[in-house]
Structure 1
Amino acid sequence: MSDPTTIEATLKSQLGATHVEILDQSGGCGQIFEAVIVSPEFAGKTTLMRHRLVNTKLKEEINKLHAWTQKCYTPEEWSKQSSK
């Protein structure tokens, strides 16, 4: 079972994430997570590059999961997204 708190702390410390939302979609078993990640590190990167960056930082945690879905935004993109 993976811990969303550990995942969030890793993203904040290693990616400088300014906003992280992690939802456990597994019904409590801790094997399926969906995440929204906002970081200035994503600026100028394609979606694939952003996902690879996150996956590299969370390699050990992701290996313990059944499914991992992520949506990655820069702070500017998140501001536009959340104001809709």
Structure 2
Amino acid sequence: MSTDGTAQAPGPIETSIRQKLTELLNPTELTITNDSWQHRHHRAMKEQGGGSGETHFSIQMVSDAFKGKTTMQRHRLVYAALAEELNRDGGVHALSLQTKTADEANKA
């Protein structure tokens, strides 16, 4: 999303997130939403000159890689996959995660 909340092409961080999660966790469903525009007024973002525009994401993912794992274990898999994006200066500041198996997603 742009600074006014309108859709725009994915940036390099979002593209990297999509590529890594696809390669490592083979999701059957993957939705990535850039929520950064909603946080542009936060102090940390202002200190970065408004941030890169790629600092806050919501991720909804369905993957068989989550079978038999707790929510915490699932989230750790995602965090490990995205360690570079999370640890980079000016990189991802926050992730909101929804992680399900195919069976869980079909019950919803």
Scaled by the length of structure 1, what TM-score is found? 0.85
SS in structure 1 at match of 2:99: strand
Following TM superposition, the consecutive aligned residue runs of length 4 or more in structure 1 with deviations greater than 3 angstroms are none
Q: Does 1:23 align with 2:28?
A: no
The one-letter amino acid of 2:86's match is: I
Task: Tell me how large the CA RMSD over aligned residues is.
Answer: 1.7
- Name 1:66's counterpart in structure 2: 93
Q: % of aligned pairs identical?
A: 36
Structure 2 length normalisation: TM-score? 0.68
Larger Rg: 2
Unpaired runs of 5+ residues, structure 2, are 1-10, 38-51
CA-CA distance at 1:51 after TM superposition? 0.4
Q: Secondary structure at the match of 1:45?
A: coil
Mapped to 2, the partners of 1:18 and 1:62 lie a distance apart of 24
Q: Answer 1 or 2: which has greater strand percent.
A: 1
Larger CA deviation: 2-11 vs 44-53:
2-11
SS of the residue corresponding to residue 36 of structure 2 reads: coil
Match of 2:59 among 9, 12, 35: 35
Aligned length: 81
